[in-house]
Homo-oligomer: A and B are copies of this chain.
Amino acid sequence: MKATFIYGAGDVRVETTADPVIQFPTDAIVRTVRSCICGSDLHHYHSAPASEEGRSIGHELIAVVEEVGADVRNVRKGDFVVVPFAFSDNTCVYCREGFQTSCVHGGWYGTPAAAGLQAELARIPQADGSLVVVPDIDPDAADEALLKSLLTLSDVYLTGYHAAYMADVKPGQNVAVVGDGAVGLSAVLAAKQMGAERIILMGRHADRTDLGIKFGATDVVAERGADGVAAVKELMNGEGVHVVLEAVGHMPAYEQAYGIVRVGGVISRVGVPQYEAAPIGAQSLFRKNARLAGGIAPVRAYLEPAIQQVLNGEIDPGKVFDRTVTLDEVPAGYAAMDAREALKVMVTV
């Protein structure tokens, strides 16, 4: 099969490699319908050390089950499935509490435990826990817009949703979203679903913030830093917002977040932090009783109802895809996202 490997910063290649095979009785082999490129793949694209062997990459996928191991009960050959970006048994003590990204038998794609998913075929560990069937849809006959929206449930939309969920967004609340990337726009859509009244999108790319407005943003703030804080506070009667959804992961975005959060409000982060230490003392969080939430999104926890919302046409998160490439064109897809020529790139086989 063909699969994607990263050999170092800026060096992504599509190569022929051996087809995956069942290694454990809990595995499944799936055939790609669509995969895509994630903002977090770009972190590797920027900083992966040079490597002789290359490392397989990709973690977002919708697919059809080709083969299942002897112990797999919940999916079977021919099922059309969404593949969450982390695998999990969905039965361990953490999975049962809704934190499948901390599954004691779980793990990540593009690691020794499981190859990356920007490929024609993939081995899915813990298939019973990881895969969720999309009922009554033939992917070969499905509308492209539907496939796009289902694909976002593998990571990007439900990562944005996780931010809103962990912030416990309530009807009538004021929400600010820091970041107009695909996760930030997904967080806008999720906050809208949860009944937020004002949704302030902080971003400066008009094509992206325009989509944010379609998803439910009521205000756009292009300013950053102290100007951005002042602009949000002015919109909020000087008080800041109840909820900040931080969808970037860099320190300036976090600084923006604690600048605009209201007394007693919450910052919920889903952008993977590119820092370890950050302000949380009297001047940032403590004095105003601001809280901090979020983390690596357990998208598996939210998948069944989200699939129904997509099938019912209640949400259309697939609009974040503004470019489609074939698997052979994946390196060009990385380059386009890196250059911000594309918001998010879908990959066909």
**Interface residues, chain A, with chain B CB atoms under 8 Å away:** 93-94, 97-99, 101-102, 166, 239, 263-264, 269, 272-273, 275-296, 298
- Decide if A282 touches B289 in the complex (CB within 8 Å): no
Partner pick for A292 among B93, B285, B287, CB 8 A cutoff:
B285
A94 proximity list for chain B (CB < 8 A): 263-264
User: With A and B bound together, what is the CA distance between A282 and B280 in angstroms?
Assistant: 15
User: With A and B bound together, what is the CA distance between A277 and B284 in angstroms?
Assistant: 9
**A310 CB, min distance to chain B CBs, angstroms:** 24
* Given A94-B263, A99-B264, A284-B276, A293-B291 contact (CB < 8 Å): yes
- Decide if B289 touches A283 in the complex (CB within 8 Å): no
A290 proximity list for chain B (CB < 8 A): 295
* Given A97-B264, A292-B293; 4 other pairs, CB 8 A cutoff: A97-B263, A98-B264, A273-B282, A292-B292
- Decide if A281 touches B278 in the complex (CB within 8 Å): yes
A295 proximity list for chain B (CB < 8 A): 285-290
* Given A93-B239, A264-B99, A276-B287 contact (CB < 8 Å): no
- Decide if A279 touches B282 in the complex (CB within 8 Å): no
**A162 CB, min distance to chain B CBs, angstroms:** 9
